Structure 1
Amino acid sequence: PRPAPDAAPARPAAADVLVDPPGATVRLAGCCTPVPPDEITGFAVRGGVVTVHRAQCAVVARMKGTGRAEVGVRWGESTGCRVTLLAESFGRPHLLADLTEAMALEGAEIVSATVEPPDRQRVRHSYTVVLPDAARLPALMRAMRDVAGVYDVSRAQPQPTGA
């Protein structure tokens, strides 16, 4: 049989989250993609699964509004993470090279990148990166903002689906 291709972790493993009471199955919410050191909270859902959200996620307010009880959760010892970042910039020559170099210097492994065509000299970039230590995320975002022409860097939020 052929060996499986190396795959980057999708995000911190659910095993990196400690739950009270122990033993519950843990799932990290796709809506807010929590990573250490985000403040997190959990909710019990079907089948005894605990879904973990960033504390400021809009879904948390909805869950509380429907009377769902929060479950105590906290990050374990693992420190790595995968996160998607959005960068907005003014278009200029060599911008992509400068931005990816700044990210590499911060230890980020770029696993996916999308750059939208310029619209009135403004360019929107999306990068999914793996960091060996999630505590380096603020420094990575600062380094990206420090690249000439970049005026905003944020964590990606899921887009609302049709109304």
Structure 2
Amino acid sequence: AAITVVDRPDASVRLAGCCTPVPFDEVTGFAVRGGVVTVHRAECSAVARMANAGREEVDVRWGDTSGCRVTLVAESFGRPHLLADLTEAMALEGAEIVSATVEPPSQQRVRHTYTVQLPDAGHLPTLLRAMRNVPGVYDVGRAQHHAPASPEPA
């Protein structure tokens, strides 16, 4: 998805891997090495660290919201055909699965991680609801990667 950097329309933009912002999230940017602007979700823990480290905060806004890649984590109880039912529900909502990881069951619980490409960011709430409606799935949410302990290099 396109990000517009206010006052710097030609700046290179990188979406932060620690918080994986997607369109419609409230976002902020920070100028980093080489004039690149790294975009974080406003509630990302890295935002406070970068501001405290004296990083220049940059005003950013979402532009074109068509096409959206997001990583989701589904928690479920193990059962036969669960993976097939879950991926079918995702496909019916127009999600293209880019990558998938299913951890081995632990005490009858299974953790699935999917990176999906959506035709539009507006599809995300519908996709999450469809995944939660699959029997055996008890939680679905955006992946929360842990930000590094130190700010990004200058």
Q: Normalising by structure 2, what TM-score? A: 0.89
**Deviation sequence 1:6-28 (CA, Å, 0-9, x none):** xxxxxx3xxx1101212222111
1:2-41 → structure 2 map (5 Å cutoff): 12=1, 16-21=2-7, 22-41=9-28
Structure 1 pair 50–160 and aligned structure 2 pair: CA distance change class (3 A): closer
The SS at the match of 1:137 is: helix
Residue type at the aligned position of 1:17:
I
1:66 aligned onto 2:53? yes
Of 145, 152, 159, the match for 2:132: 145
The SS at the match of 2:104 is: coil
Alignment match, 2:68: 81
Residue type at the aligned position of 1:33:
T
Alignment match, 2:78: 91
Residue type at the aligned position of 2:39:
V
- When structure 1 is superposed on structure 2, of 152-161 and 39-48 the one drifting more is 152-161
Alignment match, 1:49: 36
Structure 1 pair 71–160 and aligned structure 2 pair: CA distance change class (3 A): closer
How big is the shift at 1:94?
1.3
Residue type at the aligned position of 1:52:
V
The SS at the match of 2:101 is: strand
Q: Normalising by structure 1, what TM-score? A: 0.85
Alignment match, 2:152: none
Structure 1 pair 18–160 and aligned structure 2 pair: CA distance change class (3 A): closer
How big is the shift at 1:68?
2.3
The SS at the match of 2:90 is: helix
Alignment match, 1:130: 117
Structure 1 pair 80–145 and aligned structure 2 pair: CA distance change class (3 A): same
How big is the shift at 1:69?
3.0
How big is the shift at 1:29?
1.1
Distance (Å, rounded) in 1 between the aligned partners of 2:27 and 2:19: 10
Alignment match, 2:145: 158
Q: State the identity as a percent.
A: 74
Distance (Å, rounded) in 1 between the aligned partners of 2:83 and 2:45: 32
Alignment match, 1:3: none
1:117 aligned onto 2:104? yes
Distance (Å, rounded) in 2 between the aligned partners of 1:71 and 1:94: 47
Distance (Å, rounded) in 2 between the aligned partners of 1:32 and 1:144: 21
How big is the shift at 1:109?
0.7
**For structure 1, which runs of at least 5 residues remain unmatched after alignment?**
1-11
**For structure 2, which runs of at least 5 residues remain unmatched after alignment?**
150-154
